[in-house]
């Protein structure tokens, strides 16, 4: 595959934001002047979001926004939903996250949905960032998985 | 480089969560039973978070949590801070996100900080997911950039 570097001079930023964490995992993460979210370790019982949830929110929101744009361009009503399951597990040298984005698109037949999801996966900037990872899967579903909490 | 597939049977999930978006970009994204965040298009003036902010929060929180663990293991007080600048721009076929994670580590000398940041980048699961993308940069700073909003 030929990789052509993107000419960033030709395509200047249309939008810029900052997302920060100062206090570590048991603190809060924030966008200066915007969202401010309490954070906590995924394996304790304190309230708070964690990196697993933030990356899942990024993929679900981006992929569904892209599907919404594809629906709109085709003159279809918005029916898509994306639920991303994020799992954290040890590996030989630390920890890994595994993402499974389940996509429901009830407004069209299965084959049309597959083509739209494939297109969304190639267009969504978050999917592009994650696309080369073996840890990330996007799949069409008719019902979302239960995805029960892990109990130790 | 030899890539060895991770044996997921050997390393079962320690944690599982779900992050969802149903209504598209002008709606909300949520963790069932947890975080619920209003969302909006990055280029309009409505309040709301967006995929750019979620992916930035994921990287900042994960990288700083990993640095915090490295500081703790070395018996150092927690002084690290991570601010990720996320830019969105067109490319030849749609849009791209560009992430620059700025890391401040004032508690140690520059060289020690560089080694700790390098280790954190190799350990943080979000950095591992994003690591092969040319759009992602992690760098040590003594002061965070201004990162002004883009005005069109």
- pLDDT value at B48 more than 90: yes
ipTM above 0.85, yes or no: yes
pTM, entire model: 0.95
Q: Is B107 exposed, middle or buried (0-12, 13-18, 19+ CB in 10 A)?
A: middle
Phi, psi dihedrals of residue A65, rounded to the nearest 5°: -65, -40
Shortest Cα–Cα distance, B122 to chain A (Å): 9
Shortest Cα–Cα distance, B101 to chain A (Å): 9
- Chain A residues inside the 8 Å CB shell of B37: 35, 37, 57
Mean pLDDT, residues B4-11 taken together: 78
Please give the angle made by the CA atoms of A121, A122 and A128, to the nearest 5 degrees.
85
The pairing of strands A94-104 and A81-91 is antiparallel
Contact A98 B13 (CB under 8 A): yes
Nearest to residue B51, comparing CAs of A76, A61, A68, A81?
A: A61
Mean pLDDT, residues B16-38 taken together: 97
Mean pLDDT, residues A110-118 taken together: 98
Q: Which domains are seen in chain B, by residue range?
A: 16-45 (no CATH), 50-140 (3.30.300.20)
Within A1-152, strands assigned E span 15-21, 28-30, 36-38, 81-91, 94-104, 136-140
- Chain A residues inside the 8 Å CB shell of B99: 129
**Confidence bin at B8 (pLDDT 50/70/90):** confident
């Amino acid at each position: 595959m030929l990789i052509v570097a993107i000419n960033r001079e030709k395509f200047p930023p249309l939008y810029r934001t900052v997302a920060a964490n100062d206090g570590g995992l048991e603190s809060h993460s924030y966008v200066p002047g915007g969202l401010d979210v309490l954070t906590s370790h995924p394996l304790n019982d304190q309230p708070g979001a964690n990196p697993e949830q933030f990356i899942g929110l990024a993929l679900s929101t981006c992929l569904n926004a892209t599907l919404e744009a594809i629906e709109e361009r085709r003159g279809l009503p918005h029916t898509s939903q994306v639920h991303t399951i994020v799992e954290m597990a040890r590996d030989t040298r630390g920890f890994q996250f595994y993402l499974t984005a389940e996509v429901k698109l009830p407004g069209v037949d299965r084959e049309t949905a597959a083509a739209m999801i494939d297109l969304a996966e190639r267009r969504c900037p978050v999917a592009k960032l994650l696309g080369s990872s073996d840890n990330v899967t996007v799949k069409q579903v008719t019902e979302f998985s239960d995805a029960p909490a892990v109990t130790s």
